[in-house]
Amino acid sequence: MMVFRVAALAALFAAGGCEAEPRRAAQAEPARAAPTRGLDAATLARTVEAAGRLPRIRSIIVLRDGQVLAEHRFNGGPPLDRPVNIKSASKSVMSALVGIAIARGVLTGADQPILPLLRADAPANPDPRLARVTVGNLLSMQAGLERTSGPNYGRWVSNPNWVRFALSRPFVDEPGGRMLYSTGSTHLLSAILTRASGKSTHTLAREWLGEPLGIAIPPWPRDPQGIFFGGNDMLMSPRALTRFGELYRLGGRIDGRQVVPAAWIEASWTPRTTSPWSGQAYGYGWFVGEMRGHPVRFAWGYGGQMLYILPDLRLTVAMTSDATAAREGGHIDALHALVRDGIVPAAETGG
């Protein structure tokens, strides 16, 4: 497991304030006041104050055992039940949809080749390696195809056919090789789900996740062919994001209903490759590591749209940030530090 290399929070814990989410009716928020149960109150309070020092952060929600112990918004952030762009945290949601599709027989498994499902948009004479790319390779960013993210992103999203463009990229590694983070790979999964099910990815997200979780998942952008963007720009409120996180923390079962197979969550949280930038392990749409010796699994969206799950501490933490800011410049490290050096010690002490 990779250990986060983040700075201490001493500077962030200097005096400062934040804008707390206004209280609603008491019966709707029985756990929003004076967070003392399950987390050390003083440590948690200092952590929230530290969060308020970060100019890009917009919200933080902390749950332990499903109980909301901290819920705040900062820097003019929107209400916590308003959908926001979760950027590439969408990839973790897409992974859930793939796991449900496999359980329902819409797809056969992570080892299913993608070419038969996407042949209409494949090159006329494809590289033979394209026939070896599987659903699992797309999920773990190991397709071997040239990336559509980073410097290639603009050229990809300005193309009239995103699926065809992604499939026609040259191979720069073998399928199953090194991690090549590429939103085009997740978008291919959206196309696969749409074609295999006969329903849009948005409809599947609403039926398979939104309805059982009781959360709103509004429509998000689509490609020129009408395929909902796979792996970016999905819309969820911070509270909805924590509900999704709780689903995974509880092994895919929530409110007495098995929504995502527990075996799929285990498979998604199994390290399969390593990010060449952060050095962090990656599974099926989830980053995998540890904090202070505790396993952590997290979804990571551009700019700081984060969902952390620490199963042995029974914690779910969601944070949202300004999604339009320039490259993070230390912001992501600061968010990791809020969890590692603040929330985790509060849980260890609060027991």
Q: Give the tokens for residue 197.
A: 């099910």
Residue 68 lies in a domain: yes
Residue 296 lies in a domain: yes
pLDDT band at 328 (very low <50, low <70, confident <90, very high): low
192/277 same-domain check:
no
For residue 342, which of 25, 42, 38 has the smallest C-alpha distance? 42
pLDDT (mean) for 183-204: 98
* Structural domains of the chain, count: 2
121/182 same-domain check:
yes
Residue 264 lies in a domain: no
Residue 18 lies in a domain: no
pLDDT band at 153 (very low <50, low <70, confident <90, very high): very high
140/161 same-domain check:
yes
244/340 same-domain check:
yes
Judged against a pLDDT cut of 60, whether residue 18 lies above it is answered with: no
**Contact (CB, 8 A) for 138 and 190:** no
pLDDT band at 325 (very low <50, low <70, confident <90, very high): confident
322/244 same-domain check:
yes
Q: What is the pLDDT of residue 16?
A: 36
Residue 46 lies in a domain: yes
pLDDT band at 329 (very low <50, low <70, confident <90, very high): confident
97/42 same-domain check:
no
The position carrying tokens 């929330």 is 343
Judged against a pLDDT cut of 50, whether residue 34 lies above it is answered with: no
Q: Which has the minimum average pLDDT: 36-40, 51-55, 201-205, 321-325?
A: 36-40
| Listed residues 165, 197, 229: the one ending a domain | 197
Q: What is the pLDDT of residue 26?
A: 27
Judged against a pLDDT cut of 60, whether residue 176 lies above it is answered with: yes
41/121 same-domain check:
no
pLDDT (mean) for 212-230: 98
- One-letter-per-residue 3-state SS of 274-310: ECCCCCCEECCCCEEEEECCEEEEEEEECCCEEEEEE
The number of angstroms, rounded, from the C-alpha of 1 to the middle of its chain's C-alpha atoms is 19
CA–CA distance, 151 with 95 (Å, rounded to integer): 25
pLDDT (mean) for 288-305: 97
186/107 same-domain check:
yes
164/242 same-domain check:
no
pLDDT (mean) for 261-288: 97
Residue 157 lies in a domain: yes
295: containing domain:
26-82+238-249+270-350
128/185 same-domain check:
yes
Judged against a pLDDT cut of 50, whether residue 3 lies above it is answered with: no
Judged against a pLDDT cut of 90, whether residue 7 lies above it is answered with: no
**Contact (CB, 8 A) for 180 and 144:** yes
pLDDT band at 351 (very low <50, low <70, confident <90, very high): low
Burial 177-189 (b: 16+ CB within 10 A, else e): eebbbbbbbbbbb
CA–CA distance, 61 with 69 (Å, rounded to integer): 8
344/244 same-domain check:
yes
pLDDT band at 326 (very low <50, low <70, confident <90, very high): confident
Judged against a pLDDT cut of 90, whether residue 116 lies above it is answered with: yes
Residue 219 lies in a domain: no
**Contact (CB, 8 A) for 191 and 233:** no
Q: What is the pLDDT of residue 37?
A: 59
CATH number for the domain that contains residue 331? 3.40.710.10
pLDDT band at 277 (very low <50, low <70, confident <90, very high): confident
Q: What is the pLDDT of residue 186?
A: 98
41/141 same-domain check:
no
pLDDT (mean) for 89-113: 98
CA–CA distance, 146 with 148 (Å, rounded to integer): 7
Q: What average pLDDT does the structure give for the chain? A: 90
Residue 151 lies in a domain: yes
